[in-house]
Amino acid sequence: MPKASAVKKSPSLEKLRLAARDAAARAYAPYSGFTVGAAVWTDRGLFTGANVENASYGLTNCAERTAIFAAAAAGARRVERVVVYTPTPSPTAPCGACRQVIFEFGPEAAVVSCCQGADTIETTIGALLPGAFGPADLGVEPADHGAAGAGTGAKASARRAKKTS
């Protein structure tokens, strides 16, 4: 994984599309048969994910969240671009839960949905989720958001103390 300082420029849309397509091929979708792949470009580089279904449908995880959670677990804190691939004739935009997670890590992220066909949806998370709920709604300063250990330490303790007083 490249260090944040080593990450310079987002790969081409075609490279991200191919990474998302490759991820879709690894999806676990025995119930719906609807495979989805995602590629996210972050401050720590490229991460991919596929949807993972579960017999208890509510426990299914979408490709976008799988990729972003992997990125977060690797230390990424900023998502710049999300590319979603579905092997369908027309593109499919991220679901509501995925939109919320994209906003958490990329409030200005570009979002591209692509498919087997030539059509794409190119937009931003702000357009997909207007009036989004985010860290600022919980009183978290942008400088605190996503910082290593943001839930601990002096600033977090001060926020907790302020809320209880």
- Residues labelled as active-site residues: 64
SS3 sequence, 120-132?
EEEEEHHHHCCCC
Across-strand partners of 137?
Answer: none
| Torsion angle defined by CA atoms of residues 128, 134, 136 and 140, in that order, rounded to the nearest 10 degrees | -150
Q: Helices 96-105 and 63-73 meet at what angle, rounded to 10? A: 30
